[in-house]
Chains A and B, each alone.
Chain A
Amino acid sequence: MKPLEMTKISITAPKNQLRPVVEGLYELQLMDIEDHEGDVIESGKPFEEAEQLSETIVDIRSLISKLPEQDKQSTQTKDIGQVQNKATELEERVENIQKKIDRLSNQSEKLDDRIKTLEKLKGIDLNYEDLSGTKNLGAVAGDLDTEKLNKECSEDDYKLFKGKKSKVAVYRKEKDVEEAVNSCVESRISLPELDYEGPIEGLIDKKKEEKQKVEDQIREKEDELENISREWRGSLVKAEEFLSQKVEKAEAPINFGTTENAFIAKGWIPSEKLDELKEKMCDITDGKIYIEEEEGENPPVKHDNPSIVQPFEPLTDLMSVPKYNEVDPSFIILLTFPALFGFMIGDAGYGLTSLLVFAAGYKFLPSAQKIFQSLMYASIFTIIFGLAFGDAFGYVIFGPKHNALYALTGLEFLKEIPILFHRAEHLGQVLPVAVGFGVFHINMGYLVGFYNEYTNHGFIEAFLEKGSWVMLEISALAAYLYGAVVGAPLGLISLALLYKGEGIEGIVEIPSLIANILSYLRVFGVSIAAVALAKVVNGLAAPAFNSGTALGLAAGTAILIFGHTFNTFIKILEGFLQGIRLHYVEMFGKFYEGGGKKYAPFGATSN
């Protein structure tokens, strides 16, 4: 139940053994190396190849990020040396292509703008060069107020050309005419300066052609990039992995202390592995090594649970990594979380669908496999509770009353199968279960807290800090059952104990105990919502089914499928969040400190 026992060791060896020791430790993946501290002995320097390796790795990483991802990889992979040699050259090549693509995209965007501007002039029967005017004639293109123009100028002074989206006025270049025309312009199209003579339509086609060419060029360059990617990407990714390992090894001595002729490395290993490590390291260095156990503070934390509890470890870590000397609460989450989730959703149908969702998550999201495994436990409990309540997708399937499955199949035995109680009708029974579970859950928290205090500070401390709370609860119960005569003195004693144990903070916290227990009413709330949501979907589908037509049947089925799929996800969300919250806040609050440092052995990150 507690994290794995750790031992601090120091490894001392002559400097010529540095490389074998680093290699050995990397391979063993056992030692969580601590940073070297202290001024007497200097920190070590990385191996001389570290700098170069780091540079290459930066190149390779940037290359990988620039190359498009590939489904089909070249089957022949290059060896590391080849990749290392080629990396810089490739980087340059890719950079060049990228630059060209950027330039071409820029060009294409500009052309796009032009085409858009020119398209506004479509339908105007003029040559492009006319639009910039001549010595004696001015021209303006854009939105023109033609009525105003008509009033302001005489017809001899201008001529109007109409296009689909704009107009062009060509006018005599005289001051008053120019002013009059300009006052009628609502928005002006500013014409790009182009070396072109001829009709506007032709110009648009020409620009479109130009754009097509640029696009083709871009595609060509992208194909080139694609080809490089196909040939190199796979090898690059592999090389990156390999070199990362090398860099990690090369930089390991930074955390060692070194003198002229020797070095010392300190760190933590699981106690049970100490002999294995000693033996291996002696083998590697031909005995030229000295390994000593040390006293140390703040050991890293590695969960140590049987395989059934392991899926729940990430849920503990999500809250906070446990401290080294406290109980690892993963097993408590196993004990109560799936059951709580199952009770809240309590529907065999949703149990199955959520199981499918989690199984899919387990398969397709390998990084979160453990969490999905723990959620699958929760789904199984949902099915169990669903069967106990006789609910599936909001329909009653077992028991004598409103048995939908019996109505459908006519099988008598379905009525005989007993159910716990019918949740939709007996909400009153969910309430005490919820509160009762809350009292149980919170007291379990106090018990674990008691154990933590007991192992770390002794019985008296544990009783004052955690036992006093339980006693307070008992005195409240006694006051309820036997009257204030019994309850009050007991309560006063526990208050005194509590004050001695936790100080004034403890007294102030008392109302929060009530709030915490009441918080379990959410189990009741979510339960109602779970039943009601399912019934709503069924209720929506019912009229469609009752219509008896083929269309009604199809519509009803569609509503059911959509509604219950939606509900599945809502229920997963509710069940998970509310369930885990009751653990994190209400229960963990009673004992959990957290804030431990996770055990990260040297070499294990590469996997």
Chain B
Amino acid sequence: MAIEGMAAIGAAAAVSLTAIATAYTQAKIGAAGVGALAEDGDFGNILILTVIPETMVIFGLVVALIITGFI
């Protein structure tokens, strides 16, 4: 298999695995956040906590872009 093919698979793995990780974490935080919101929590703070794991998939995206030679 050509090296480009391997790179493409690597890029796909970088995005998809980090996406799964983000989804898993976000689901947990989100569920707890909804609970807190129902108890009259501060929407802003909960939103911030919920979006923290998104950093992972963004880094995954960066890695994928680098592997594919985009940046």
Contact = CB atoms under 8 A, between A and B. Distances in A.
Interface stretch (B6-14, B28-36, B48-56): B48-56
Nearest to B15: A525
A319 interface: yes
B: interface residue count bin: 10 to 19
A310 interface: no
A566 to B, nearest CB: 21
Contacts of B47: 319, 581, 584-585
Nearest to A427: B70
Interface in A375-398: none
A522 interface: yes
Contacts of A521: 58, 61-62
A333 to B, nearest CB: 13
Interface centre among B44, B58, B70, B71 (most CB of A within 10 A): B44
B62 A519 contact: no
A318 B43 contact: yes
B44 A320 contact: yes
B59 interface: yes
A431 B70 contact: yes
A515 interface: yes
A522 B62 contact: no
Nearest to A586: B51
A319 B50 CA distance: 13
Contacts of A525: 61
B40 interface: no
Interface in A5-30: none
A518 B58 CA distance: 7
B4 interface: no
A3 interface: no
A525 B71 CA distance: 14
Contacts of B45: 320
B48 A518 contact: no
B39 interface: no
Nearest to B48: A585
Contacts of A427: 70
A594 interface: yes
Contacts of A589: 48
A38 interface: no
B43 A319 contact: yes
Contacts of B65: 431
A218 B62 CA distance: 66
Given A519-B58, A521-B58, A521-B61, A585 B70 contact: no
A428 interface: yes
Interface in A416-441: 427-428, 431
A522 B65 CA distance: 13
A562 B35 CA distance: 34
Given A428-B70, A431-B71, A320 B58 contact: no
B47 to A, nearest CB: 6
Nearest to B55: A515
A431 B70 CA distance: 9
Contact of A518 (B44, B62, B70): B62
Contacts of A594: 44
A428 B59 CA distance: 18
A589 B70 CA distance: 30
A534 B48 CA distance: 30
Contacts of A585: 47-48, 51
Interface in A552-607: 581, 584-585, 589, 594
Interface string A490-529: 0000000000000000000000000100110110010000
Given A518-B59, A518-B62, A522-B54, A584 B70 contact: no
A96 to B, nearest CB: 36
Given A428-B70, A515-B58, A584-B48, 16 more contacts: A319-B43, A319-B44, A319-B47, A320-B42, A320-B45, A431-B70, A518-B55, A518-B59, A519-B55, A519-B58, A521-B61, A521-B62, A525-B61, A584-B47, A585-B51, A594-B44
15 contacts: A319-B43, A427-B70, A431-B65, A431-B71, A515-B59, A518-B55, A518-B62, A519-B54, A519-B58, A581-B47, A581-B51, A581-B54, A584-B44, A585-B48, A589-B48
Which 5 A/B pairs are nearest by Cβ-Cβ distance?
A319-B44, A320-B44, A581-B51, A515-B55, A585-B48
